[in-house]
Each structure stands twice: as structure tokens, then as C-alpha cells.
Amino acid sequence: MKSLELVNVCKKFGEAVAVTDMSMHILKGELVSLLGPSGCGKTTTLRMVAGFVEPSAGSILINGRDVTNLPPYARNTALVFQSYALFPHMTVAQNVGFGLEMRKVGKAEREEKSIEALKRVRLDHFADRYPRQLSGGQQQRVALARGLVLNPDVFLLDEPLSNLDAKLRGEVRSEIRGLQQSLELTTLMVTHDQEEALTMSDKLVLMEAGRVRQSGTAQDLYEQPADAFVADFVGRSNVVKGRVEDGQFRTADGTVMPTMPGIQADAQYYTLRPEKISLSRDGEGVEGTLRERLYLGAQTEYTVMVGDTSISVVMATPGPDDQRAGLRVGDPVRLDWDVASVRLLTH
């Protein structure tokens, strides 16, 4: 069953088009992420679903009911803001129960449900504290509890982890995903963080300039990008512009890049993930020159010039006996990869 459906939704602010022809759906219990660069329309889309922004055209349905023209309080959605938006003069429990109070829920029931929601995020023992007495991660969990207590049909998350440091972001990310799955919450999340989207989502919707460029599972977008923008934005990729001549893909300086036979004649982009490439001091493969080496702990990133083209390679950091251990900038190297890992794109 489709818990949330957008049908040809558009939004204009004056002459500026923020979202155009947006269609998507989320099944019950799914977490779908709107991913894309700043200004692509993902937050506007989220706010249209919440009811804070009115669409210029199209329809929004929740559980089959058209809510396009309904106010936020009539949609049974819950929005967790990027800034948490906690009331500083209210206790944690009062913040969590605020939405219930607005719905005219009695005090006793409100307090009971607030504590239940706080237990889900493991903060019931902080019920009498104020937001200023909590860490950033704890404040985020209070904001989550405030949404959960409403038992929403659609849970909306606006950049929920952007204000947290890297270590805490990983912990809260796991908590959010665990809660979403255990409670089977239909969830729409906005993020610009690729790792966040890839690890948390059942499906991704990648937007650019107000349009959907590609939607599907994380694996779909990573392994089968629809175009060069998707290949470059989702994860990391070597995106090389060139042309096909005599059945071979050539870069701007004429370097031949290995491909499978029978490639399409109108291909303009050669895409290859850095982790799909192996680097050696000698042997088979494409000749190049080491330009940079970055130690990243368990992995090392190499930048290699192949003609005028820069190629990124990510491999396990070599041990002392590995031939790569002694490589220096300027050394000749060889790059090799399975041509089945290459994606040739027309745009």
C-alpha cells in the first residue's frame, strides 16, 4: 500500500521554479531519502508534504486521501526540524507532549504518552530537564520523540543529523533507522549527506534543479547511474568526458579507455568507481603517472594522471612488503580494472 504519493507536484515562487513535475511514492514502513545539492528542491518538497508550503500544481496523497489543500494539523504527519525547534522554557516531557496538547489530548494521557515516547529514545529519565541541559544528540532524540508521540502516518525528517559531530552522527543514525524499522514508520527524509542516505534508506530520490534525476535503491543509483550527474553525486566516481571513435572510447587527448566490445556510438562519459581499480608498479593495464597519494588509515587514495585525465584509485593501504609501499609522486604506474565495471553514459 502507498502511504505517501506525490503526483506531478510543482512549486513556483514567483517566476522561480523550485520543484517541477515531482512524482514519487513511499510504501508503508519504507524510509525514502530525498538527496541532492543545496537548492535542488528537496526541502521544499518535504515542506509541501508537511503542509507548510502549498503546491502550485499536482496532488499529495497520504494513505490514498488527497491532502493537497489540507493544513498541517489535518494531515497526521510529524516533522523533525533540522534545528530541533525545542521550546527552551519547557521541560523535555512538555516539549514531547506539545503536539498532543495542541490536539486537545488530556493531561494524564499526554504525560503517559510522552514518557512512552521518551522511553523509545532512552531519555525517559531526562523528562524533567530542560533542552539547555542536554547534549546535541539528546536534543535530537527529544525532537524524534516529539514526532513519534503523535503516531504519524508519515514521519518527516529534515537533515536530522546535520548539527551533530561525526561520531555522534553515526550513533543517532543507527537509532533513527532502528526506530523507523521497529515501528514500521513510513518516513521521508531530506539529506545532502550521501553516506547518510546510502546507509539508512530503502530507496533514494536524487534531485537536481527541482527535478528527479533518478530514483531507486542505493545499489541501483550506485551501480547503474542514469547519467553523469548521478554517477558523480552518489558515492565517488571517475567521470571522464570523451567520444567514441572506431568502436573505442577516447578521452579529449586521444587516450583509449578500455571498454567491452559493441559500445554505443553516442557515449560521451566514461564512469568508473575508484574502488574498482587496481594500481601496481608494473604489469598489465593502462599507463599513468602517480600525482598524489593520501593515507586514510585502512585505505590509501591515489591520484594518477593518464594522459591529461586525472583518475582516482582507492585501495587497501599496502603493507611494508607490498610493491606499492615505496611509490613516490612522479613514479610510473599501471592501472587495471574489469571493463564490466565501466558505465558509458550519453549525458
Q: Which residues pair with 35 in a beta bridge?
A: 191, 206
Reduced 3-state DSSP string for the chain: CEEEEEEEEEEEECCEEEEEEEEEEEECCCEEEEECCCCCCHHHHHHHHHCCCCCCEEEEEECCEECCCCCHHHCCEEEECCCCCCCCCCCHHHHHHHHHHHCCCCHHHHHHHHHHHHHHCCCHHHCCCCHHHCCHHHHHHHHHHHHHCCCCCEEEEECCCCCCCHHHHHHHHHHHHHHHHHCCCCEEEEECCHHHHHHHCCEEEEEECCEEEEEECHHHHHHCCCCHHHHHHCCCCEEEEEEEECCEEEECCCCEECCCCCCCCCCCEEEECHHHEEEECCCCCEEEEEEEEEECCCEEEEEEEECCEEEEEEEECCCCCCHHHHCCCCCEEEEEECHHHCEEECC
pLDDT of 249 above 90: yes
Band of residue 58 on the pLDDT scale cut at 50, 70, 90: very high
Q: Which of 192-196, 284-288, 338-342 has the lowest mean pLDDT?
A: 192-196
pLDDT of 288 above 80: yes
Rounded to an integer, the average pLDDT of 234-245 is 94
pLDDT of the residue at 173: 86
pLDDT of 28 above 90: yes
pLDDT of the residue at 305: 97
pLDDT of 141 above 70: yes
pLDDT of 286 above 90: yes
pLDDT of the residue at 221: 95
pLDDT of 1 above 80: no
pLDDT of the residue at 102: 85
Rounded to an integer, the average pLDDT of 51-71 is 96
Q: Half-sphere exposure of residue 60, counting CA atoms within 13 Å on the CB side?
A: 25
Quick: pLDDT tens for 80-115.
887 778 889 999 999 999 988 888 889 899 999 999
Q: pTM value? A: 0.90
Quick: pLDDT tens for 160-188.
888 777 777 888 888 889 889 988 999 99
